[in-house]
Structure 1
């Protein structure tokens, strides 16, 4: 009898110990979780991603922006610059990024993969909240028209670039009457430079016959002294493209999103806007529907985002 109860007692103690270990583990997990958030339920650190580029003043502007955001929010804001567009998209998909300044097409992809939501674009006013894609050639080139680029080299910025890939492809398709599949065979070579800055520098150096670049990127490069207007010529221009939006991951706490929006919409650091390339600009709200032209253009190319990224 005593032996029987001894076995029962031992078994009970085992169950009690297992229960205590489970409770302690759960408490430990809760403690770890609470250690990553503040009293508002906000993460103690968030990350802000930007696309690759080389223009120094713009890089300084990004650093200034995250410093000001950190001070306004009262939490650490870390800057992340991707090696390519897909790196920024994937960083948000894997929840390593909370915010990002996407290009219009990379935003569309980020929306599909991680439910990114646009907040604002930098512009003087709503009418100024667009830019264009340019097809440029070296100034000394004999090429005057798109037709004369047949059999020559073309440089795009990045597979996920709106004005450095998506819209330039559409320009050639519409103007030349070729299909998307025929774009590659139209040229002697099709390459990606990694950024608009790289493409602009390659054209200035005569290292490519043509390139698709964003108009504002070229203007900023000229202002920054990277190139001069005499280094290139514009032979084609796209329709207006909605500007690059700051976007956030949809699962952020609502109160944090509201605080970020308040900071962005009221941001007035003149030094930042000067370094970003336009002292007269500010951040104005945008909506998902503003980017329907990007979605429609991608659909017109009859290529999925994955196919465009894998070019």
Structure 2
């Protein structure tokens, strides 16, 4: 009886393992009939639901598969999801892609949005360091805005996995201050929490959240990017993406800016950043589907789709805007090496 029980247990255990293996295999190589797209918190808001669904529709038409959207409240969730195969496609910043690729080299770039020229040459957005407008004068030196006065202040980043909301601005801060004897040993790690350089450090969890930290007075200065807040703010003074320019929250801005309508902030530093890619897990998506996705995304039809590349003067909230010849382009992994270098 004991031998029979042991044999039955082993047989059942083997059957379970076999079933698990079959399930794992059915979910790889694109054989499943569903593709999951993971989105950062910045793109997970209700106001961007239509934009997400339009991308999903394009993916469905390219592959013939159903799309499920995985919205998130934390960068790490999206990064882990694409790396471990719980998501097949993800829209993420360069730093997030680099982290996912380091965890699993099967995660590769699919496409990136071009610049206004329609080429990769100007495929950048901008990392901002901003302060409240009414306090902006104290960040001037000889008529020019400088970042000297951010030390010992309350500062807000987005996430330490954010390219333009942490990696790029922290590198810029370290490069600037480490030339001074007092801060010659300053490292990016020293900026992660208060007490070493900043009096207090907060994380918005999204670019929108970091901007709201600034506008509600929770922080004195903040890092966030232009593209993630463009649906909520408008230029009030100066030229776009220029130190000294002032932006104002729209009166009808959606959450989380609905609590600070009319509030203004001033840019004290602006840094170009490589555009964010759509990435794909090549272990869970077949070569055939990846080929179809690239063809669809880089097509003239996609570039002219006003639900994806929203006209610049439209009041519709979008992920991408059409100012000239914007479109999606293929890039190789090596294109992101300049961001990798920031971590060395």
Asked whether the two chains share a fold, i.e. TM above 0.5, the reply is: yes
| Structure 2 counterpart of 1:243 | 275
Identify the range of structure 1 (125-134 vs 72-81) with the bigger mean alpha-carbon deviation. Answer: 125-134
The Cα offsets for residues 183-242 of structure 1, whole Å up to 9 and x where unpaired, read as: 34111101111000111122223331001111222334325933689611111122x221
Alignment of 1:109-188 (within 5 A): 109-115=99-105, 116-123=107-114, 124=116, 125=118, 126-141=120-135, 142-144=137-139, 145-177=146-178, 178=183, 179-180=186-187, 181-183=189-191, 184=194, 185-188=196-199
Alignment of 1:272-311 (within 5 A): 272-274=308-310, 275-280=318-323, 281-299=326-344
Q: Hey, what's the Cα distance between the residues in 2 that align with 1:37 and 1:113? A: 19
Paired residues of 1:57 and 1:276 also in contact (CA < 8 A): no
State TM-score, norm by structure 1: 0.79
| Structure 1 counterpart of 2:52 | 62
Paired residues of 1:106 and 1:162 also in contact (CA < 8 A): yes
Query: For residues 247 and 206 of structure 1, do their structure 2 counterparts lie closer, same or farther at Cα, with a shift above 3 Å needed?
Result: same
| Structure 1 counterpart of 2:67 | 77
Query: How much does 1:156 deviate?
Result: 0.3
Say whether 1:108 aligns with 2:109: no
| Structure 2 counterpart of 1:217 | 228
| Structure 2 counterpart of 1:199 | 210
Query: How much does 1:57 deviate?
Result: 4.1
Given the alignment, which residue of 32, 36, 61 partners 1:47? 36
Identify the range of structure 1 (113-122 vs 152-161) with the bigger mean alpha-carbon deviation. Answer: 113-122
Q: Hey, what's the Cα distance between the residues in 2 that align with 1:209 and 1:273? A: 34
The alignment's C-alpha RMSD in Å is 3.0
Query: For residues 277 and 120 of structure 1, do their structure 2 counterparts lie closer, same or farther at Cα, with a shift above 3 Å needed?
Result: closer
| Structure 2 counterpart of 1:253 | 286
Identify the range of structure 1 (181-190 vs 205-214) with the bigger mean alpha-carbon deviation. Answer: 181-190
Given the alignment, which residue of 214, 226, 232 partners 2:265? 232
The Cα offsets for residues 132-186 of structure 1, whole Å up to 9 and x where unpaired, read as: 2111001111531321122210000011000001111111111112311443411
Query: For residues 203 and 30 of structure 1, do their structure 2 counterparts lie closer, same or farther at Cα, with a shift above 3 Å needed?
Result: closer
Matched residues, number:
278
Q: Hey, what's the Cα distance between the residues in 2 that align with 1:292 and 1:100? A: 19
Q: Hey, what's the Cα distance between the residues in 1 that align with 2:208 and 2:160? A: 15
Larger radius of gyration: 1
Aligned partner of residue 58 in structure 1, secondary structure: helix
The Cα offsets for residues 232-279 of structure 1, whole Å up to 9 and x where unpaired, read as: 1111122x2210001111213211211121221122421122122403
Paired residues of 2:62 and 2:289 also in contact (CA < 8 A): no
Query: For residues 209 and 34 of structure 1, do their structure 2 counterparts lie closer, same or farther at Cα, with a shift above 3 Å needed?
Result: closer
Paired residues of 2:83 and 2:101 also in contact (CA < 8 A): no
Question: What runs of 5+ residues in structure 2 fail to find an aligned partner?
Answer: 140-145, 235-248, 311-317
Paired residues of 1:200 and 1:213 also in contact (CA < 8 A): yes
Q: Hey, what's the Cα distance between the residues in 2 that align with 1:87 and 1:34? A: 21
